[in-house]
C-alpha cells in the first residue's frame, strides 16, 4: 500500500485563503508526489467569517480533505498540535493557511524524509512581512537560546515535516500548553533544516498581536528556563550588598562630617523606585511561572471538537485510542 502524507493546516478567519491553498496542495500532491496517498486536514479555531462554509464545500468535493471544527478559539498553540495528533499519515506536514509557508516546500520536505530524516523543518532566512517583527523575533530566539538548557531553533515557526515516529511521541504528551519548538529540541529526533523566504500573507489579516506573541514567548521561557528565576536571587544578593555598602559609607560620612554632609531625598527616592520596579518585575515573572504551573496542573484537553468532516468511524476510534486526553 502507498504511504500516506498528511498536511495539517490550522485556520482562523481565513476565508480568502482556504480554497486556493487546498487547490495548490492537491496540485502538488497529485502531480509531483503521485506515489503517495494524501490527506489535507484543516483544523478551524472557531472562525467568524465564511471559512467553515468554504471548508464544507472543499470536504464535499474531495474526500481527501478533512476538517475539524473547534467549539471555540483555543489559541495558536493548542489547536495546531491537536491537529497534528489527529493526522493519520506516515508523515505530517504542518503549515499555515495564509500562504506565508510556500506550498512547493512540501516536495523538498518529502525528499529529505525519503532519505531518512525523521524531522524536516523550514527555517526563515528572510521574510517579506514586517521587518521590525522579524528582527524582534530574531532577538527573542537569541535570548531564549542563552537562558535555556535546550537548543532552541531560530526562525522556526513550526512549518515542517514530522515522521509518524515523532508524532507518536507528541501523542503521548499530555501538555495543555504545548510549545512545539521546545518539544522538538528536547524530545525530537535529529532534524534537517531547509532555508526558505517567508512570503507575504495572500489574503486577510495576521492574527498575531503583541499579546499573543508575548504569551507565546513567555510559554517558551517558563517551560524551559530556570535562569530568570535564579537571576532574581542573584540580583537580590547583589543589590542587597550594594545597599549595605552604600549605607555604611553614608553612615561614616555622616559621622565624620555631621555638620556639613546631607544625604538629601534624591538618593532615597531613586533607591526606592529602583527596588520597587525590580520587585514588581520579578513578582510578575514569578506570576508567569505560577500561571504556567496552574494551567498544566488543571490538565484540560487541548481543544473541544464541535464537528469533524470526512473522518471515517474506524479512523475516529483509532485516533481516540492514540490521543487519549489529547
Q: Give per-residue burial for 194-209: e unless 16+ CB within 10 Å, then b.
A: bebebeebeebeebee
Widest Cα–Cα separation across the chain: 96
Asked if residues 7 and 95 have their Cβ atoms less than 8 Å apart, the reply is yes
pLDDT digits (tens, 9 = 90+) for 259-312: 666 666 666 666 777 777 777 777 877 777 777 776 667 667 888 999 999 987
- Judged by DSSP in three states, 308 sits in strand
Confidence of residue 211 (pLDDT cuts 50, 70, 90): low
Cell reading at 217: 514567548
Asked if residues 137 and 126 have their Cβ atoms less than 8 Å apart, the reply is no
Residue 209 scores a pLDDT above 70: no
d(C-alpha 310, C-alpha 63), whole Å: 6
pLDDT at site 213: 67
Asked if residues 129 and 96 have their Cβ atoms less than 8 Å apart, the reply is no
Q: Which residues contact 149 (CB under 8 A, 6 or more apart)?
A: 224, 225, 226
Asked if residues 9 and 40 have their Cβ atoms less than 8 Å apart, the reply is yes
Q: Is the dihedral of CA 123, 128, 133, 136 positive or negative?
A: positive
Q: What is the pTM of this model?
A: 0.75
Q: What is the CATH number of domain 4-207+301-323?
A: 3.90.550.10
pLDDT at site 193: 93
Amino acid at each position: 500500500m502507498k504511504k500516506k502524507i498528511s498536511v495539517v493546516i490550522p485556520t482562523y478567519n481565513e476565508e480568502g485563503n482556504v480554497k486556493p491553498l487546498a487547490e495548490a496542495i492537491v496540485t502538488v500532491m497529485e502531480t509531483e508526489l503521485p506515489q503517495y496517498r494524501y490527506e489535507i486536514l484543516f483544523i478551524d479555531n472557531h472562525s467568524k467569517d465564511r471559512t467553515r462554509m468554504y471548508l464544507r464545500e472543499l470536504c464535499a468535493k474531495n474526500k481527501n480533505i478533512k476538517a475539524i471544527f473547534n467549539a471555540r478559539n483555543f489559541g495558536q498553540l493548542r489547536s495546531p498540535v491537536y491537529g497534528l495528533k489527529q493526522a493519520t499519515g506516515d508523515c505530517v506536514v504542518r503549515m499555515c493557511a495564509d500562504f506565508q509557508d510556500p506550498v512547493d516546500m512540501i516536495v523538498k520536505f518529502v525528499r529529505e524524509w525519503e532519505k531518512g530524516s525523521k524531522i524536516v523543518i523550514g527555517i526563515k532566512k528572510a521574510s517579506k512581512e514586517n521587518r521590525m517583527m522579524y528582527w524582534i523575533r530574531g532577538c527573542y530566539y537569541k535570548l531564549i537560546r542563552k537562558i535555556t538548557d535546550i537548543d532552541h531553533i531560530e526562525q522556526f515557526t513550526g512549518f515542517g515535516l514530522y515522521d509518524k515516529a515523532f508524532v507518536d511521541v507528541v501523542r503521548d504528551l499530555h501538555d495543555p500548553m504545548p510549545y512545539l519548538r521546545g518539544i522538538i529540541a528536547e524530545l525530537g529526533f535529529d532534524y534537517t533544516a531547509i532555508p526558505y523566504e517567508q512570503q507575504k500573507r495572500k489574503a486577510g489579516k495576521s492574527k498575531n498581536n503583541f499579546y499573543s506573541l508575548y504569551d507565546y514567548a513567555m510559554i517558551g521561557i517558563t517551560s524551559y528556563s530556570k535562569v530568570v528565576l535564579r537571576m532574581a536571587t542573584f540580583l537580590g544578593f547583589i543589590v542587597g550588598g550594594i545597599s549595605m555598602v552604600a549605607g555604611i559609607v553614608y553612615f561614616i560620612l555622616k559621622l565624620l562630617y555631621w555638620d556639613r554632609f546631607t544625604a538629601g531625598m534624591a538618593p532615597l527616592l531613586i533607591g526606592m523606585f529602583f527596588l520597587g520596579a525590580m520587585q514588581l518585575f520579578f513578582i510578575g515573572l514569578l506570576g508567569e511561572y505560577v500561571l504556567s504551573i496552574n494551567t498544566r496542573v488543571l490538565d484540560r484537553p487541548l481543544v473541544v471538537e464541535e464537528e469533524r468532516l470526512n473522518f471515517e468511524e474506524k479512523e475516529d476510534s483509532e485516533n481516540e485510542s492514540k490521543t487519549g486526553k489529547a
